[in-house]
Structure 1
Amino acid sequence: MPKSAPRLAAGLLALALVFTVAVTTPWHLIDLPKPDAALDFTSAEIARQNAFRHEILPWSTASWIISTLVPLVIGFSPLGRRMYDGLRVRPWVIAVPLTVAGVVLITSLLTVPTDVMAERVSLKYGLSVQNWRLWVWDRGLNWALTSLGLAVIAVVLMALAKHWKQGWWLPGAIAAALLVLGVSFAYPVLVEPRFNHFTSMPAGAQRNEFLALAKQDGVPVKDVLVADASKRTTALNAYVSGFGSTRRLVVYDTLLKDTPPAQVRLVVAHELGHAAEDDVLHGTLIGVLGTAFGITLLYLLLGARMSDPRRAAMLVALVAAGTVLASPVQNLVSRKIEARADYHSLRLTNDPQDFVAMQHDLAVQNIDGLDPSRWRYWMFATHPTPPERIAMGRAWATQDGHPVPPLVGR
Structure 2
Amino acid sequence: MRKFYLIFTALFIIYSVAIGIYLLTTPSSLPPDLKGSPADPTTFMSPEQVEQAYAFSRIKNILFFIGGPLEWAIYLLILGLGLSAKFRDVVESVIKGSFWRVALFVLLLTFTTTLLQFPLDYYAFHLKHVYGISNETFNSWMTDNIKGFWVSAVLTIPIVWLLYLVIRKSPKRWWLWCWLGSIPLSLFFMFIQPVVLDPIYHKFTPLQDQQLKKEILDLAAEAHIPTEKVYQVDMSRKTNALNAYVNGIGSNTRIVLWDTTLQKLKKDEILFIMAHEMGHYTLHHMAWLFLGSIFMVLAALLVVYYLLRWTVRSCGKYWGIHQVTDLASLPVILLILSVLSFITMPIQNTVSRQYEHAADVYAMQLRNDPDVAIRTFQKLAVEGLSEVNPPALVKYALYGHPTLHERILYVKNYSK
TM-score, structure 2 length as denominator? Answer: 0.80
Higher relative contact order (CA 8 A, sep 6+): 1
1:39 is the counterpart of 2:37 = yes
In structure 2, relative to structure 1, the CA distance for the partners of 1:388 and 1:229 (3 Å cut) is same
Show the counterpart of 2:319. none
Structure 1 residues 35 and 158: alpha-carbon distance in aligned structure 2, compared to 1, 3 A threshold: farther
CA deviation vs aligned residue, 1:10-52 (integer Å, no higher than 9, x gap)? xxxxxxxxxxxxxxxxxxxxxxx99957633116142221132
Measured against aligned partners, the alpha-carbon deviations of 1:288-334 in whole angstroms (never above 9, x if no partner) come to 22223322333334469542223122222222222212222111111
Q: 1:66 maps to what in 2?
A: 70
Mapped partners of 1:380, 1:53: distance in 2: 11
Cα pair 2:308 2:333 within 8 Å, conserved: no
- Residues 1:319 and 2:337 are matched in the alignment: yes
Aligned to 1:131: 137
When structure 1 is superposed on structure 2, of 66-75 and 192-201 the one drifting more is: 66-75
Amino acid at match of 2:56: F
| Letter of the 2:294 counterpart | V
Aligned to 2:167: 161
Q: 2:81, 2:193 → 1: CA distance?
A: 34
Residue 295 (str. 1) matches residue 313 (str. 2): no
Moved more, 254-263 or 84-93: 84-93
1:378 offset after TM fit, Å?
A: 3.0
Cα contact 1:153–1:176 (8 A) shared by 2: no
**Are the structure 2 counterparts of residues 176 and 223 from structure 1 closer, same or farther at C-alpha, using a change threshold of 3 Å?**
closer
Write the mapping of 1:134-153 to structure 2, written as runs, cut at 5 A.
134-153=140-159
Query: Could you report, residue by residue, the CA deviation over 1:352-382 in whole angstroms, capped at 9, with x for unpaired residues?
Result: 1110111011111111122333333333222
- The yes-or-no answer on 1:53 pairing with 2:74 is no
For 1:316 and 1:166, locate their aligned partners in 2 and report how far apart those are by CA, in whole Å: 19
1:145–1:246 Cα change, 3 Å:
same
**Matched residue type, 1:393:** V
Q: Match of 2:87, as an amino acid?
A: M
2:246 alignment partner, SS class:
strand
Q: Would the aligned equivalents of 1:127 and 1:235 in 2 still touch at CA under 8 Å?
A: yes
1:235-254 equivalences under 5 Å are 235-254=241-260
Q: Does 1:178 align with 2:184?
A: yes
State how far apart, in whole Å, the 2-side matches of 1:51 and 1:277 are: 36
Superposed displacement of residue 58, structure 1: 4.7
Report the CA distance shift for 1:97/1:379 in structure 2 as closer, same or farther (over 3 A): farther
Matched-pair contact (CA < 8 Å) for 2:133–2:384: yes
Contact 2:68–2:342 (CA under 8 A) maintained in structure 1: no
Per the alignment, residue 277 of structure 2 pairs with 271
Q: 186, 202, 205: which is aligned to 1:196?
A: 202
Q: How far apart, CA to CA, are the structure 2 residues paired with 1:115 and 1:79?
A: 22
Matched with 2:364 is 346
Match of 1:255, SS?
Answer: helix
Give the TM-score of the pair, scaled to structure 1. Answer: 0.81
Comparing 134-143 with 65-74, greater Cα deviation is found at 65-74
Q: CA deviation at 1:262?
A: 1.0
Residue 112 (structure 1) aligned with residue 133 (structure 2) = no
1:333 and 1:121 map into 2 onto residues whose CA distance is 29
Which residue identity lines up with residue 351 of structure 2 in the other structure?
V
Aligned positions of 1:340-379 closer than 5 A: 340-379=358-397
State the 1:242 CA deviation: 1.8
| Cα drift, residue 138 of structure 1 | 1.5
Mark the runs of 5 or more structure 1 residues left unpaired by the alignment. 1-32, 401-410
C-alpha spacing 1:199/1:329, structure 2 compared with 1 (3 Å)? same
Deviation at 1:203, TM superposition (A): 5.1
| Residue ranges of structure 2 left out of the alignment (5+ in a row) | 1-30, 313-322
Q: CA deviation at 1:136?
A: 0.4
Query: Mean Cα displacement is larger for which, 270-279 or 94-103?
Result: 94-103
Aligned to 1:386: 404
Contact 1:236 1:365 in 2 (8 A): yes
